[in-house]
Amino acid sequence: MKNRHNKLLTFVILLLMALFFGHCRLSTKERQNDSEVDSKAVDFREIKQRGKLVAGVSTNSTDYFVYRGQPMGFQYELLNKFTETHDLKLEIIVENDLIKSMEYLKNRDIDLIAQSLTITPERGDNMAFTEPIAQTRQVLLQRKSTSDDSVEFIRNQLNLAGKTIHIQKGGAAYQRLRNLSEEIADSIHIVEIDSLEMEEIIRLVANGTIDYTVCDENVAIINEAYYNNIDIKTPVSFPQNLAWGLRKESTVLADSINKWLIKYKETSEYKYLYHKYFKSSRAKITRSSSFYSGEAGLISEYDPYIREASKIINWDWRLLASLIYQESRFNPNVTSWAGAFGIMQLMPATADFLGVSRNSSISSQINAGARYIKYLDEKLPPEVSEKEDRVKFILASYNIGPGHINDAIRLAEKYGRNPHVWEGNVRYFLLHKSNPRYYEDKVVKHGYCSGTQPIKYAEEIWDRYEHYKNVIPLS
């Protein structure tokens, strides 16, 4: 009897130990799984460590575009204000297909969708929303009624029964029209278009290809000013909040954006920004211009000369255009305080070396500027092989002269940095060339230099070039 009792006690102890260690292993595995999830999460801490925010933005006449060489847009400027506040760089991924943008967000290719997303319960199942950036309502967009028009003009929502309405795929209009169909107890034929941005769908209404679409009223107002034959006065929803979309686990990023937005929306700067893109009459002028990136795709009136000159240096013509914008804003009559003149802002001695003058044609000046860039390129070591690095070396040289860049290269080599890499290496010593420790060094041949300006110059040109690539076609 005693032996049976001991065996039973031993069995119970072993069972308890098995359960205990099994629980420990399970807890460890659960913690490992949690750690794997955490390691994949991208919240504000990771964004700050990386030093840049990656945003998905659509390109149109309100969100993001280039006008006369300058990146612009309501979403673009909002993003810039936020990233500047947190000392972050901004990287924009252009995607006009909202479904794809949501996939990018899910796959962590972007940190947020910076579009005017209508806050809906359906979308809330898949993403989190920021504090509203604005409010709007959805309206029916149709052509104005004419005496011989065979298409019914709609003012009463009940008359939408049986009508076919084309909308952007992934937009909030789909669910709203389904709800409206139930409200009027009749069918509305909804056709989703997945290959066109909202403004392109509006164009189809204006030219008679389709009869009706539904969009946000603030976008409709801008397009009403552009197309004089469309009507936007039939609402199909109550006022709705618009916000940016984030992953649900990006709670710290959401909190940071929300705190900033709440304060920023109270400022006159925000009110001016909203008026600028959604209420100002200049919005129509911008949209109608040949230099609006959504129309002719021109950066400047000198694009043909820039395209031709870019062949001399084997550059993307949009990069050369960005340099020219930085130098003169495409104004051929400007003269700097130092005497640099013309569209390429060539110094008199440099211009003389290149065989041009103030009286030379604009095409000749652009050609001369390209030849000077080629000269600077040939002076660089071939070991500077990374394209972006090499371009920034050249751009800084164009701004401050090659001598100071060569000094920074020699300093990098002396102090054990890579003399053929820009970031953290040559850039560092160019930035610190105003420090006597460096500009009085024996390897320095050109003395003091305030490196902040050429660094800013080079990096602004490159950043603007990235914007040009986003919205201006190469060919």
**Quick one: 55 and 127 in the same domain?**
yes
What φ, ψ does residue 164 adopt, rounded to 5°?
-105, 125
Q: What are the phi and psi torsion angles at 142 (to 5°)?
A: -145, 170
Domain extent at residue 219: 138-238
Identify which has the larger pLDDT, 292 or 451.
Answer: 451
- The tens digit of pLDDT for each residue in 250-298 reads 999 999 999 999 999 999 999 999 999 988 877 766 777 778 877 667 8
349 and 254 assigned to the same domain:
no
Residues 349 and 380 in one domain: yes
Which of 126-130, 291-295, 376-380 is predicted with the least confidence, judged by mean pLDDT? 291-295
Within a domain: 337 = yes
Q: Is residue 2 part of a domain?
A: no
pLDDT (0 to 100) of residue 107: 96
Residue 16 is predicted with a pLDDT of 56
Question: Same domain for 223 and 203?
Answer: yes
Q: How confident is the model at residue 139 (pLDDT cuts 50, 70, 90)?
A: very high
Q: Are 226 and 288 in contact (CB under 8 A)?
A: yes
- Domain CATH code at residue 279: 3.40.190.10
Residue in 118, 205, 216 with CA at minimum distance from that of residue 166: 205
pLDDT at residue number 291 = 80
Q: Can you give the C-alpha Rg of the chain in angstroms?
A: 30
How many C-beta neighbours within 10 Å does residue 441 have? 17
Cα(80)–Cα(76) distance, rounded to whole angstroms? 6
pLDDT for 292 equals 82
Which are the contacts of 119, defined by CB distance < 8 A and separation ≥ 6? 129, 132, 240, 241, 242, 243
User: Which DSSP symbol is given to 458?
Assistant: H
pLDDT at 194: 86
Same domain, 342 and 405: yes
Least confident of 44-48, 286-290, 389-393: 286-290
Same domain, 128 and 262: yes
Inform me whether the pLDDT recorded for 52 exceeds 80: yes
Q: Is the pLDDT of residue 21 over 80?
A: no
Q: Is residue 227's pLDDT more than 50?
A: yes
Q: Is 386 a catalytic residue?
A: no
User: How many Cα atoms within 13 Å fall on the side-chain side of residue 451?
Assistant: 23
With helix as H, strand as E and coil as C, how does 246-259 read?
ECCCCHHHHHHHHH
Q: In this structure, what token pair is assigned to residue 315? A: 């550059």
Three-state DSSP class for residue 42: coil
Distances (CA, A) of 57 to 98, 115, 156, 355, 451: 9, 6, 34, 45, 33
Provide the pairing of β-strand 134-136 with 138-143.
Answer: unpaired
Q: Which of 198, 95, 38, 176 is nearest to 470 (CA)?
A: 95
8 Å CB contact between 137 and 130: no
**443 and 348 co-located in one domain:** yes
Asked whether residue 401 falls in the same domain as residue 323, the answer is: yes
Lowest mean pLDDT among 5-14, 136-145, 304-313, 416-425: 5-14
In a domain, 12, yes or no: no
End-to-end Cα distance, the chain:
95
pTM of the model: 0.84
Q: What sign does the CA torsion over 318, 323, 326, 329 have?
A: negative
Distance, in Å, from the CA atom of 102 to the CA atom of 246, rounded to the nearest integer, reads: 9
- Which one is catalytic: 327, 386, 423, 440? 327
CA within 13 Å, CB half, 409: 20
Candidate from 263-267, 288-292, 408-412, 448-452 with smallest mean pLDDT: 288-292
Strand ranges in 144-229 using DSSP code E only, listed in sequence order: 164-168, 189-193, 212-216
Pick from 181, 209, 238: which residue ends a domain? Answer: 238
- Asked if the model's pLDDT at residue 38 lies above 60, the reply is no
pLDDT for 24 equals 47
Tell me phi and psi for residue 246, to 5 degrees: -135, 165
Strand partners, 288: none
Residues 78 and 145 reside in one and the same domain? no
pLDDT value, residue 165: 98
180 and 199, same structural domain?
yes
pLDDT digits (tens, 9 = 90+) for 298-345: 899 999 999 999 999 999 999 999 999 999 999 999 999 999 999 999
Q: pLDDT (tens digit, 9 = 90+) per residue, 162-205?
A: 999 999 998 889 999 999 999 999 999 999 998 788 999 999 99
Whether 26 maps to a domain, the answer reads: no
Task: Report DSSP state, residue 147.
Answer: T
| Averaged pLDDT, 147-165 | 89
The pLDDT, as a whole number, for residue 460 is: 97
Last residue of a domain, one of 198, 214, 238: 238
Task: Specify if 107 maps to a domain.
Answer: yes
Structural domain contains residue 328:
yes
- Residue whose pair of structure tokens reads 């579009």 in the numeric block: 115
Average pLDDT score over residue span 59-75 = 93
Read off the CATH number of the domain in which 422 is found: 1.10.530.10
Total number of domains constituting the chain: 3
More confident residue, 36 or 459: 459
Please check whether residue 442 lies inside any domain of the structure: yes
Mean of per-residue pLDDT scores for the chain: 90
Residues 464, 372, single domain; the answer is yes
The alpha carbon dihedral of 424, 427, 430, 432 has a sign of negative
Predicted local distance difference test score (pLDDT) of residue 41:
62
More confident residue, 405 or 40: 405
Contacts for 253 with CB less than 8 Å, ≥ 6 apart? 43, 44, 47, 111, 112, 246
Q: Say if residues 398 and 373 touch (Cβ distance below 8 Å).
A: yes
In a domain, 7, yes or no: no
Cα 269 to Cα 109: distance, rounded to the nearest angstrom: 31
Let me know whether 364 and 263 are in one domain. no
Q: Would the CA dihedral through 195, 196, 201, 204 be positive or negative?
A: negative
